[in-house]
């Protein structure tokens, strides 16, 4: 990974640069890639792209979290997942988007025009390899969410989501971690009712695993216990 001294100025405050595809680039290629795009700031609730439209840019999330959602035939919103720092949003192949991308809070992205992005991938082997690894990683994550919804019980689903949010935020025990999803959104993502989500959160708090200082944050007190509740090994 390039040293901080060689980074383009826009990359120095990017929370996702260590895990983004551009982390694999040598300094000259990194500067070339940074020169292709622009940084866009998103306010909470701003939709970057809509389901069904042909996206003209490919974005790397720099800061914040974005929800990926689709609309059901009856008008209900189905949340498919969450994208965080280092994740890619937008289809490099230009196919119509299968979901909308909306900022859950303050967020920023590095946006590169789709044609420029694909041309750069074609000539930079390390970038193309990193993109392929990222896409396979997203496929693995999608399979994990299928397991989450299909096989895990309610407590395991809620605990798994909290672990994911804590890991994305780099949260350690005793620190407040942003909970950008409302209880309704969490329920939609996990295939549960709002009441079930709320009960499980308060049960975790009563057991001392987490604390709930307000509706938009949780404090992680015992990561091993939360991992056990999620049915996952604790790192």
- In sequence order, the β-bridge partners of residue 220 are 210
Residue 2 has pLDDT above 50, yes or no: no
Residue 46 has pLDDT above 90, yes or no: yes
pLDDT in tens, 158-187: 999 999 889 888 878 888 998 888 898 888
pLDDT score, position 235 = 55
CA–CA dist 30, 126 (Å, integer): 11
Q: pLDDT band for position 206 (50/70/90)?
A: very high
User: Greatest CA span in the chain, whole angstroms?
Assistant: 55
Q: pLDDT band for position 234 (50/70/90)?
A: low
pTM of the complete model beyond 0.85: no
Kind of pairing, strands 210-214 and 217-220? antiparallel
Angle, vertex CA 119, rays to CA 115 and CA 124, nearest 5:
145
- In sequence order, the β-bridge partners of residue 112 are 58
* Stronger pLDDT, 197 or 232, i.e. the higher one: 197
- In sequence order, the β-bridge partners of residue 100 are 69
What is the DSSP-derived secondary structure letter of residue 213?
A: E
pLDDT in tens, 19-36: 888 888 888 888 898 889
pLDDT in tens, 207-224: 999 999 999 999 999 999
pLDDT score, position 210 = 96
Provide, for the chain, the percentages of residues in helix, strand and coil under a 3-state DSSP scheme, each rounded to the nearest 5: 45, 25, 35
Dihedral angle over CA of 117, 119, 122, 123, nearest 10 = -110
* Stronger pLDDT, 86 or 145, i.e. the higher one: 86
pLDDT in tens, 110-154: 999 999 999 999 888 888 888 887 777 777 776 776 666 677 899
pLDDT in tens, 54-81: 889 999 999 988 999 888 888 878 788 8
């Amino acid at each position: 990974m390039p040293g901080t001294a060689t980074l383009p100025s826009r990359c120095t405050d990017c929370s996702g640069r260590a895990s983004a595809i551009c982390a694999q680039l040598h300094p000259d290629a990194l500067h070339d890639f940074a020169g292709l795009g622009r940084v866009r700031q998103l306010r909470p609730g701003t939709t970057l792209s809509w389901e069904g439209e042909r996206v003209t840019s490919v974005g790397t999330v720099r800061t914040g979290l974005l929800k990926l959602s689709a609309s059901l035939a009856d008008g209900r919103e189905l949340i498919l997942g969450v994208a965080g720092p280092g994740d890619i949003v937008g289809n490099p192949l230009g196919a119509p988007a299968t979901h909308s991308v909306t900022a859950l809070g303050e967020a920023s992205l590095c946006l590169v025009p789709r044609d420029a992005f694909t041309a750069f991938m074609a000539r930079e082997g390390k970038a193309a390899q990193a993109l392929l690894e990222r896409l396979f990683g997203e496929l693995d994550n999608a399979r994990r969410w299928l397991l989450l919804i299909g096989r895990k019980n309610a407590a395991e689903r809620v605990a798994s989501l909290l672990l994911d949010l804590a890991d994305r935020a780099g949260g350690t025990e005793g620190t407040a971690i942003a909970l950008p999803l409302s209880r309704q959104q969490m329920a939609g993502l996990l295939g549960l009712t709002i009441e079930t989500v709320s009960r499980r959160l308060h049960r975790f708090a009563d057991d001392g695993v987490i604390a709930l200082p307000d509706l938009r944050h949780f404090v992680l007190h015992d990561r091993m216990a939360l991992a056990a509740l999620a049915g996952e090994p604790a790192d």
